[in-house]
């Protein structure tokens, strides 16, 4: 068996982010424009939460007057760049989530999604 693929090899670097003080309508605009379904929430460079399509849906009708911190998920599960892609895939499956922020210490350095891991699977199967 070869060396295990790390999160660092499959993650998106410098993902789009939002602030806890941003208005949900602005966060939704970023997600729509970028074609993404999750946004890491960062304050002073530190990951403080995640905002997903589901979070936005729960606040529909109030997006223009609700801040991100009222809708985001706190206590976010994350991985390190040195963790294996297999560990990340297990977490996504076990926790029934679609993306994991990648942190080095408390600094956000990337994001890894189910799609990233499916691309890895296709590459390994070819």
Domain at 42, CATH number: 3.10.580.10
Residue 23 lies in a domain: yes
Tens digits of residue pLDDT in 54-99: 999 999 999 999 999 999 999 999 999 999 999 999 999 999 999 9
State the Cα–Cα distance between residues 74 and 78, nearest whole angstrom.
Answer: 12
- The pLDDT-based confidence of 1 (bands split at 50, 70, 90) is very low
Residue 1 lies in a domain: no
State the Cα–Cα distance between residues 109 and 82, nearest whole angstrom.
Answer: 12
Residue 121: which of 97, 89, 92 has the closest Cα?
89
Tens digits of residue pLDDT in 11-64: 998 789 999 999 999 999 999 999 999 999 999 989 999 999 999 999 999 999
Residue 58 lies in a domain: yes
- Provide the domain count of the chain: 1
Sign of CA dihedral 9, 12, 13, 18: negative
Residue 48: which of 61, 56, 39 has the closest Cα?
39
Tens digits of residue pLDDT in 107-116: 899 999 999 9
**Domain span at residue 74?**
7-125
Alpha helices in 67-113 (DSSP H): 85-95
Residue 2 lies in a domain: no
Residue 89 lies in a domain: yes
Render the burial of 32-65: b for 16+ CB within 10 Å, e for the rest: eeeebbbbbbbeeeebbbbbbeebbeebeeebee
What average pLDDT is seen over the chain?
A: 93
pLDDT computed for residue 87 by the predictor: 96
pLDDT computed for residue 126 by the predictor: 86
């Amino acid at each position: 068996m070869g060396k295990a693929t790390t999160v660092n090899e499959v993650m998106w670097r410098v993902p789009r982010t939002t602030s806890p003080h941003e208005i949900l309508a602005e966060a939704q605009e970023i997600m729509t424009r970028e074609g993404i379904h999750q946004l890491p929430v960062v304050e002073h460079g530190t990951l403080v939460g995640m905002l997903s399509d589901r979070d936005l849906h729960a606040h529909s009708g109030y997006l223009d007057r609700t801040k991100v911190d009222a809708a985001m998920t706190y206590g976010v599960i994350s991985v390190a760049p040195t963790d294996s892609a297999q560990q990340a895939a297990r977490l996504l499956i076990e926790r029934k989530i679609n993306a994991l922020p990648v942190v080095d210490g408390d600094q956000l350095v990337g994001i890894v999604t189910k799609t990233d891991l499916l691309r890895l699977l296709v590459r390994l199967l070819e």
